[in-house]
């Protein structure tokens, strides 16, 4: 046995006990006649003391040779500290060491093992095993474990059964790219890694499992944007004999439970908003509703003068920035520059200062009088002291630009509080979205999503208008979950594949098993999937999912620690019946 206690365990009550501890040397203070060592493990830090009078000489010498991150085992007596440290739970005691064994030495680590480390991202990723020794990273991983345990116990308590679905499945060209796996035993054939267990969970519903969940890795071979991982984890859920309302109620329950259990926050019934409303009010289908600054559409009150920029715009829309009238001219100019950056792409920004005396001063005073501007204030909800920021142009782009501005301002004003949680259901998503590149409609969610009852006909006449039984759960401006009621009728599913451009042969080849399954008594069903990495980061009050993944990949999809991917040898290629081609 290497230890009798961990380094987070001993208290004043333990004084005079003889104990054995093991851990890493966090730091040493060597005064010659006395040496203090902070010994660290996952559970905490315990101070060790070696002194000339009370410690054997060889032990003193060994102690003075200890370096950072050495792994040691000590035996000694718990004594009261002379100068107590109220900042750590073990701060009242220290260990007077009698025996010291160096279990392993350490080179000087390439960065400091402290919460505020001097290591850059690349270095920390290469030595991720050292990065994980930092409390900040370690506690994120422990936090993730707590969240998954809470999810599992909650869902299990609600009769959900966790069922493992296969990882070696079949490639389907729909959606993002699959990672594929050449089959050695089936020459010229490939497995694919699942982008989600979608069809399998539907088959489980057809199989009568009734309530399924799984915390499961999924894979997407996409060009990685910042903070995307080629492998990611979902809380994947499905229920049979449900309507949308049942799904929302169930997973609102789960989310409320997590907020309470993990964050100690009680939230009431989650507000709901349609997709259209979210875009109109926040310019965004995942609005952060922790703060206001709702959009005011100004077309009616701003397109009656000679200001051609507004008159020719599809949409004129503004937000009232609370207290924004205090911004200097220079600050406002900077805001204008900000929205004109290529990443945002606005042509310009009109603003209106709302003076404390009720008067207005705008960048378009040449065109609009006080009465006009008062109406703008009315529509945007601006109060004296606020600043109205107005963008104009094509509807979708303008909304996206103003939404970006709204988020940026909220960030600057400290309105995006990490410890405040504002969940929101966004419902009635469109079934289809237009893809500029391929010039046709794609399934917005996936091809198994059911259109709203009675909207199948709209498909022929106005496909973009068809709404789906699809919903997203939004938390603090992030989509943390999304799902839908599925099609469970073979005819409707066939029509949908047809509509999405599958030939009957393609539909058959890829999803024949599902179409067949629909013939044998498929129940109505629906579900949701949560992005666990994101959910955990948000519950943890942070933004970067990489900080909650033990061994993340970089933006090029590489694991820089193990140096993967890597070439494989020609023998292996041959066995797999493939060769390189570039």
CA distance readout (Å), 556 to 222, 528, 564: 10, 29, 11
Residues in 522-541 that interact with a second copy by CB under 8 A: 522-524
Q: How far is the CB of 124 from a second copy (least distance, A)?
A: 12
Q: How far is the CB of 337 from a second copy (least distance, A)?
A: 35
d(CA 244, CA 451): 12
Residues in 18-47 that interact with a second copy by CB under 8 A: 22, 24, 40-43
Residues in 182-201 that interact with a second copy by CB under 8 A: 182-193, 199-200
d(CA 252, CA 258): 10
Q: What stretch of H or E contains 15?
A: none
Q: Per DSSP, what are the bridge partners of residue 50?
A: 35
Residues in 466-525 that interact with a second copy by CB under 8 A: 488-489, 512-513, 516-524
Q: With contacts defined by CB under 8 A, name the span among 9-17, 142-150, 283-291, 337-345 that binds a second copy.
A: 142-150
- Strand positions, DSSP E, 211-291: 211-219, 231-240, 272-274
- Whether the CB-CB separation of 346 and 339 falls below 8 Å is answered with yes
Q: Is 566 in the site for a second copy (CB under 8 A)?
A: yes
- Name the residue among 232, 229, 137 with its Cα closest to residue 547: 137
Is the Cβ of residue 440 or residue 574 nearer to a second copy in the bound state?
574
d(CA 59, CA 102): 11
| List 64, 359, 503, 572, residue binding a second copy (CB under 8 A) | 572
CA distance readout (Å), 403 to 286, 474, 477: 10, 15, 11
Q: How far is the CB of 519 from a second copy (least distance, A)?
A: 5
* Site size for a second copy (CB under 8 A): 129
Q: With contacts defined by CB under 8 A, name the span among 303-311, 337-345, 381-389, 545-553 that binds a second copy.
A: 545-553
- Whether the CB-CB separation of 147 and 539 falls below 8 Å is answered with yes
Residues in 199-238 that interact with a second copy by CB under 8 A: 199-200, 203-204, 206-211, 217, 219, 221, 223, 230-231, 233
Q: Is 276 in the site for a second copy (CB under 8 A)?
A: no
- Whether the CB-CB separation of 360 and 390 falls below 8 Å is answered with no
d(CA 464, CA 456): 12
Q: Name the 3-class secondary structure at 293.
A: coil
Q: With contacts defined by CB under 8 A, name the span among 105-113, 311-319, 336-344, 444-452 that binds a second copy.
A: 105-113
| List 36, 111, 179, 338, residue binding a second copy (CB under 8 A) | 179
- Whether the CB-CB separation of 523 and 85 falls below 8 Å is answered with no
| List 38, 69, 288, 472, residue binding a second copy (CB under 8 A) | 69
Q: With contacts defined by CB under 8 A, name the span among 76-84, 103-111, 382-390, 463-471 that binds a second copy.
A: 103-111
Q: How far is the CB of 27 from a second copy (least distance, A)?
A: 13
């Amino acid at each position: 046995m290497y230890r009798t206690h961990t380094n987070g365990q001993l208290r004043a009550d333990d004084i005079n006990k003889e104990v054995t501890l093991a851990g890493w040397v966090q730091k040493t203070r060597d005064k010659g006649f006395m040496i203090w060592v902070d010994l660290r493990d996952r559970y905490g830090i315990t101070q060790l003391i070696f002194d000339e009078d009370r410690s054997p000489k060889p032990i003193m010498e060994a102690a003075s040779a200890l370096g950072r991150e050495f792994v040691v085992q000590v035996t000694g007596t718990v004594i009261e500290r002379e100068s107590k440290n109220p900042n750590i739970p073990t701060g009242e005691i220290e260990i007077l060491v009698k025996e010291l064994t160096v279990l392993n030495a350490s080179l000087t680590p390439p960065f400091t093992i402290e919460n505020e480390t001097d290591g850059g991202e690349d270095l920390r990723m290469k030595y991720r095993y050292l990065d994980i020794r930092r409390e900040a990273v370690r506690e994120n991983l422990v936090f993730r474990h707590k969240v998954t345990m809470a999810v599992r116990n909650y869902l299990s308590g609600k009769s959900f059964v966790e069922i493992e679905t296969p990882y070696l499945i079949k490639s389907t060209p729909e959606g993002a790219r699959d990672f594929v796996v050449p089959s050695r035993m089936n020459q010229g054939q490939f497995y694919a890694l699942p982008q989600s267990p979608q069809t399998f969970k539907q088959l489980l519903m057809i199989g009568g499992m009734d309530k399924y969940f799984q915390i499961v890795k999924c894979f997407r071979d996409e060009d990685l944007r910042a903070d995307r991982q080629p492998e990611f984890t979902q809380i994947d859920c499905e229920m049979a004999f449900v309507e949308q309302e049942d799904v929302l109620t169930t997973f609102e329950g789960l989310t409320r439970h997590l907020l309470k259990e993990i964050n100690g926050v009680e939230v009431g019934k989650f507000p709901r908003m349609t997709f259209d409303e979210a875009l109109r009010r926040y310019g965004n289908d995942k609005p952060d509703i922790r703060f206001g600054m709702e959009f005011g559409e100004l077309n009616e009150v701003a397109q009656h003068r000679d200001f051609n920029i507004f008159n020719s715009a599809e949409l004129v829309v503004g937000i009232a920035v609370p207290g924004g009238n205090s911004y200097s001219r220079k600050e406002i100019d900077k805001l204008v520059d900000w929205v004109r950056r290529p990443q945002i792409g606005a042509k310009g920004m009109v603003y209106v200062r709302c003076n404390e005396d009720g008067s207005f001063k705008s960048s378009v005073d040449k065109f609009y009088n006080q009465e006009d501007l008062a109406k703008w204030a009315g529509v945007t909800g601006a109060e004296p002291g606020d600043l109205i920021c107005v963008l104009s142009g094509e509807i979708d782009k303008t909304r996206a630009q103003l939404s970006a501005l709204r988020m940026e301002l909220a960030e600057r004003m400290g309105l995006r509080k990490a410890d405040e949680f504002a969940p929101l259901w966004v419902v009635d998503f469109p079934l289809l979205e237009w893809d500029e590149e391929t010039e046709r409609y794609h399934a917005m969610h996936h091809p198994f999503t059911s259109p709203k009852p009675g909207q199948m006909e709209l498909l022929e006449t106005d496909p973009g208008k068809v709404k789906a039984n699809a919903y997203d759960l939004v938390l603090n401006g992030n989509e943390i979950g999304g799902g839908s009621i599925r099609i469970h009728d073979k005819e409707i599913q066939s029509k949908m594949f047809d509509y999405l451009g599958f030939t009957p042969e393609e539909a058959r080849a890829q999803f024949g098993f599902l179409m067949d399954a629909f013939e044998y008594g498929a129940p109505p069903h629906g579900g949701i999937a949560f992005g666990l990495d994101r959910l955990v980061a948000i519950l943890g009050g942070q933004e970067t999912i990489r900080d909650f993944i033990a061994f993340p990949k970089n933006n090029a999809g590489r694991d820089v620690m193990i140096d993967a991917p890597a070439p494989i040898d020609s023998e292996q290629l041959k066995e797999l019946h493939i060769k390189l081609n570039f």
